[in-house]
Structure 1
């Protein structure tokens, strides 16, 4: 009898839960209308952040030295920025700066690549060299324990000042690079960015995002030596040191290992004018057999020194700066088109691009593109609600404050100030300026920098696949070529125009 009563009670409870669940299901609402009633109180005061001031000096040879004390851990890191990078590549030889940076670690006048690797491994240090596409500097960095600072600086200075670019190591790197280039062309994300940068920048050097197979085969040791001899000079560089180091010790290390670097004249960094913005167009990169489309839409924006950088940072956060932003919520959470949709903008010594991106299965390509463009228009046409704006501003300031816990990030921010010539209090005032951005500012900035009339849209995928879920829907090529999004041009994955590719099927 007791078992029967217990069973009866359990069934009543389960029945009650089922009824509640069914009622909840019948009243299901979208995530946009859900209100969280158990939210913790929010502190609306502006987070006060004051960065520790670095010690700055200049060696007699012109090298700027920045020393930032952070004694929390017994470690030290150093970064040398030389003001020459991929933007200074010869027009017919993309990849020289990349090759140069990679080859610096492969041998000096006194050490071969194995000896350099053994020297860093023996002291537990990490050495890196890089020259990113679209940038105008090369970096040499090393980090490790404070007790090995002298040995670290010895390796770093040798690599930066005395590379010999051994021919046999160059051939090994060339072979690896050619294999990488071939693999790149199978990646839809690379194809999308290659075309996107090309249509935005034209002949401007920021259009280049990779070496070409032709330049990779052609680059010689003499090209790397010529690049190094032209640009690597102390009066064209900044040395940053951060960690468990006092200013006097940092200056001693800089003087000992870089003080003998000879000053010399360097070429002026001259960049050609940017092309005029093109009217809105759509570019389809044909990738037969692809099960999804990769979408990029955007236009040029501003330089790093532009005062609009801060309000645009807020606008981007609202639009697509993370998993709580509008693009992600709309295209993934609401419509289920994609695993993620985001936006970003970059700014340098020249106007950088704004772009919104999404990857989705073929048969929702039209819906995804329509939804993405609708979110761009919404940023321009409607003021952002106060609660959304305040949440995103607090999130930006909190992320900024958290990033300062990392000494390398802290040093990078100060090098940014020196490199771009930003005000000394730039980062001290950053949280307050973020917090001061209004809804009117966001809408004004969106109208200025989300340029729907000159938006360039790149789609990578199989143009012959259906673009819509319903049976008998148009293909991706037909949808893009229908005129709703702008004139269509079609290219192969190798970047060659497809004759007649822009015409929809009859």
Structure 2
């Protein structure tokens, strides 16, 4: 149903346990930093429950604890999320605190300085961690300047941008992006639609509709040839390899096909990439491929942390797996049947809790997959064919257009990587600045 202020509400009624779980999906997320400063969404959502016009953060925590309720507040790439878990018997009082946090945050100055310091420390940690280093620069290399997805993957921003964020920036963020007509509330638990609607109308009638800025999530072109970026981490005990490219949007009708194909290639423990680099070669504790969905183009990346002295050999093997799935070694019926059966058998266990159902609803809403997506999901998987898998591989995997990022001890890995003649070599740091060659 839809409230009078335009807020869409989706209810999955489950009365087996007397609790109500809810999540508000706001159309903002890290991508909204395009209109502010990198790291702003993350900071605003972290600070949301630090205080309202009538409650400070300690009062909020104490009241929630006394009611047996909890509130979660965070952002991801496309959305900012405010969640609540509450007992049915205390739902009204819990909802009162929840809507207060949603509508009346004050972003107190004393807490603002603390949260800013914590976010700067998060950036430092990412800059010291090989995976964090790669993920800080990967979006900018894939999407380019000016795109809503081009900031560091974690949403933490840069040291320069976070240092420049003011309390007023957070107030403006809340005023700009928190709009009921650009949000969806998902509710799972022991409550009827009639009950829920009347309670929400009374609490949220003052939350007014508004228009929000349009994020630039337009499709980008892939590079016409491979590029290689080496990030130096002196003394690194292993090298971390990414082979990445943009991927089709999470709103694609054939997303299930692409997800199943990726399970075979590198998405599961028994996938091709892991069986090669871990089980056969023993060069890695775990090597995979990841297909990340987004409202715009997502990311497809091969990922392998490997022993330093096998860096170039591992690149060769990863490249081989990405190329062979398209031509020389197509997906087999045996590989397909195994993941197809597993995917169907895993479904019932995947929806045991209210939280799991909320997660499924979030996916459905985020990517406009429609109300029949989950009821038909098992049949969709059962009806897939080997031909669908091969078509998905051709659609997703583009080995000739990939960006390779290798994080490791440059003095030990650079020469052997250059000798591979994989593509144009760049030496950069985690913020994308070119560093001098030896």
| Residue 99 (1) aligns with residue 36 (2) | no
For residue 207 of structure 1, give the secondary structure of its aligned residue in structure 2.
coil
Output aligned runs, 1:419-438, within 5 Å.
419-438=366-385
CA deviation map 1:204-233 (0-9, x unaligned):
121212311111111111111111111212
In the alignment, which residue of structure 2 is the partner of 1:498?
A: 435
CA contact (8 A) 2:217 2:297 kept: no
**Which segment is superposed worse, 193-202 or 418-427?**
418-427
Which one scores higher on RCO, CA 8 angstroms, separation ≥ 6? 2
| Residue 269 (1) aligns with residue 211 (2) | no
Output aligned runs, 1:447-462, within 5 Å.
447-462=394-409
In the alignment, which residue of structure 2 is the partner of 1:481?
A: 418
1:359 equivalent among 305, 309, 314 = 305
1:188 equivalent among 117, 122, 130 = 130
Structure 1 residue ranges without an equivalent (≥5): 1-56, 466-475, 502-506
1:237 equivalent among 174, 177, 183 = 183
For residue 250 of structure 1, give the secondary structure of its aligned residue in structure 2.
helix
Detail structure 1 runs of 4+ shifted over 4 Å in the superposition. none
In the alignment, which residue of structure 1 is the partner of 2:150?
A: 207
CA contact (8 A) 2:4 2:201 kept: no
1:254 equivalent among 200, 218, 232 = 200
In the alignment, which residue of structure 2 is the partner of 1:44?
A: none
Alpha-carbon deviation of 1:237?
1.5
> Whole-Å Cα distance in 2 between the matches of residues 314 and 139 of structure 1?
28
CA deviation map 1:399-450 (0-9, x unaligned):
2332111222213323433343223211122222222222222222212211
Q: How many residues align?
A: 432
CA contact (8 A) 2:179 2:212 kept: no
Cα RMSD for the two superposed structures:
1.7
In the alignment, which residue of structure 2 is the partner of 1:316?
A: 262
In the alignment, which residue of structure 2 is the partner of 1:78?
A: 22
| Residue 417 (1) aligns with residue 364 (2) | yes
Alpha-carbon deviation of 1:460?
0.1
TM-score norm. by structure 2 comes to 0.94
CA deviation map 1:455-496 (0-9, x unaligned):
11110000212xxxxxxxxxx111221253111111235542
CA contact (8 A) 1:311 1:437 kept: yes
> Whole-Å Cα distance in 2 between the matches of residues 498 and 110 of structure 1?
51
For residue 399 of structure 2, give the secondary structure of its aligned residue in structure 1.
coil
> Whole-Å Cα distance in 2 between the matches of residues 408 and 480 of structure 1?
45
> Whole-Å Cα distance in 1 between the matches of residues 297 and 426 of structure 2?
25
In the alignment, which residue of structure 2 is the partner of 1:176?
A: 118
In the alignment, which residue of structure 1 is the partner of 2:68?
A: 124
Output aligned runs, 1:465-476, within 5 Å.
465=412, 476=413
**Which segment is superposed worse, 423-432 or 336-345?**
423-432
CA contact (8 A) 1:383 1:440 kept: no
Alpha-carbon deviation of 1:85?
1.9
> Whole-Å Cα distance in 2 between the matches of residues 408 and 194 of structure 1?
29
In the alignment, which residue of structure 1 is the partner of 2:387?
A: 440
TM-score norm. by structure 1 comes to 0.82
CA deviation map 1:65-119 (0-9, x unaligned):
1121111212111111111222111456101111111111101010011111111
> Whole-Å Cα distance in 2 between the matches of residues 236 and 195 of structure 1?
30
> Whole-Å Cα distance in 2 between the matches of residues 449 and 417 of structure 1?
21
> Whole-Å Cα distance in 1 between the matches of residues 80 and 189 of structure 2?
22
> Whole-Å Cα distance in 2 between the matches of residues 241 and 370 of structure 1?
48
CA contact (8 A) 1:88 1:97 kept: yes
> Whole-Å Cα distance in 2 between the matches of residues 90 and 313 of structure 1?
29
CA contact (8 A) 1:234 1:261 kept: no
Alpha-carbon deviation of 1:272?
5.6
> Whole-Å Cα distance in 2 between the matches of residues 415 and 496 of structure 1?
36
> Whole-Å Cα distance in 2 between the matches of residues 276 and 323 of structure 1?
32
| Residue 349 (1) aligns with residue 282 (2) | no
> Whole-Å Cα distance in 1 between the matches of residues 56 and 11 of structure 2?
30
> Whole-Å Cα distance in 1 between the matches of residues 35 and 54 of structure 2?
33
The structure with the larger Rg is 1
> Whole-Å Cα distance in 2 between the matches of residues 87 and 131 of structure 1?
10
Alpha-carbon distance change, 207 to 308 in structure 1, aligned in 2, over 3 angstroms: same
CA contact (8 A) 1:197 1:206 kept: yes
1:375 equivalent among 291, 301, 321 = 321
> Whole-Å Cα distance in 2 between the matches of residues 178 and 271 of structure 1?
26
Alpha-carbon distance change, 169 to 125 in structure 1, aligned in 2, over 3 angstroms: same
CA contact (8 A) 1:292 1:360 kept: yes
